[in-house]
Amino acid sequence: MRLQFLARMPNQGATVSGMIRKVLLIVIDGLRPDLITGDDMPVLHALQERSWRPSQARTVRPSITVAALTSLGSGVAPATHGLTEARLRHLPRVRTLSPLPAELRRLGVGTTIVTPELPSAARWMAGALLRLAGVSRLIANSSAPLSLVEAGVGQIDGNSLREMVVVYLNDADLAGHAWGWMSAGYRQAARMIDRALACILPLTDDPERLIIITADHGGGGVLDDDHDHPHPLNDAIPLLLLGGRVAPGMARGEPVSLLDIPPTVLHGFGGAAPRSYEGRVIHEAFAQELVWA
């Protein structure tokens, strides 16, 4: 018998596959990674130190919310899914995709989405889109970041079912459009989000939980108060992976894409991404395990 590192063998990452029971995916709309400093976002900065993160992560182009969230939910880039505007006539396209929640459902994993209260038209639209995509539950809460994060954590802690919980926070984006990215107003909105993130700290050591914190796009790249033009500052997003099976540290090398999140989530729950998915599993984020071979 010989002690080996499983992760160095060809089935790299096999140790995490199927080991995750809960994924908490927090999407902070419009959060620039360079705002995660000890002064501006001390909680997220501390979480970042305990996380696995790539030196660079990028969203899709166009760097707009509807395109990026559809990519997160479908595993494909906007050039493939075509949803670059929130219009009803685009809804049928969802049927041609393999939505992540539907893929998870096949594995017996539910999906809950926690969002700020939406105006009624948007709520109808979001509900229709999410039903088509196989989402089990939509929790629309007050728009305060703390209520939203608490609702997500409550859903994670509330049962032992295998589940992905997505918490969507939009205050930083609203402040960026109102006052400009990196303005005092934008920093203030980020600070409120940062305080709310303190309630996920107790989840980060559990080996059955995977926490992913990211954004749909940056901002201020070309116009101070927008993020849709192709520009590195609009493309750059934070990406942190936390949990008992994650190996902390910053990885150098190729930038990681927003499109790598859906295959990684499926892998954690023991599934594999459909062939249509354009990203890859982030195997290197997970700890190597000593095994007898």
Binding site for Zn ion (CB under 5 A): 173
Nearer to Zn ion by Cβ, of 173 and 260: the residue is: 173
CB 117 within 8 A of CB 170: no
Nearer to Zn ion by Cβ, of 64 and 104: the residue is: 64
- Residues 182, 183, 186, 188: what is their CA dihedral angle, to the nearest 10 degrees? 110
CB of 178 to Zn ion, least distance (A): 11
Given the DSSP bridges, would you call strands 256-257 and 57-58 parallel, antiparallel or unpaired? parallel
Q: Backbone phi, then psi, for 159, in 5-degree steps?
A: -155, 170
Task: Estimate to the nearest angstrom the gap between the alpha carbon of 11 and the chain centroid.
Answer: 25
CB of 163 to Zn ion, least distance (A): 28
CB of 253 to Zn ion, least distance (A): 29
CB of 210 to Zn ion, least distance (A): 27
Nearer to Zn ion by Cβ, of 51 and 63: the residue is: 63
Nearer to Zn ion by Cβ, of 176 and 274: the residue is: 176
CB of 141 to Zn ion, least distance (A): 20
CB of 168 to Zn ion, least distance (A): 12
Residue 16 burial by Cβ neighbours in a 10 Å radius (0-12, 13-18, 19+): buried
Nearer to Zn ion by Cβ, of 15 and 59: the residue is: 59
CB of 227 to Zn ion, least distance (A): 6
Distance CA(74)–CA(83), nearest Å, equals 11
Nearer to Zn ion by Cβ, of 30 and 110: the residue is: 30
Select from 239, 238, 248, 256 the least CA-distant residue to 286: 248
Other CB atoms within 10 Å distance of the CB of residue 137: 13
- Return the bridge partners of 165, or none: 24, 112
Nearer to Zn ion by Cβ, of 173 and 235: the residue is: 173
Nearer to Zn ion by Cβ, of 169 and 200: the residue is: 169
Exposure b/e, 178-209, CB count within 10 A at least 16 = b: ebbbbbeebbebbbebbebbeebeebbebeeb
Distance CA(13)–CA(79), nearest Å, equals 30
Q: What 3 state SS string does 233-276 have?
A: HHHECCEEEECCCECCEEECCCCEEHHHHHHHHHHHCCCCCCCC
CB of 215 to Zn ion, least distance (A): 11
- What residue is closest to Zn ion based on CB? 173
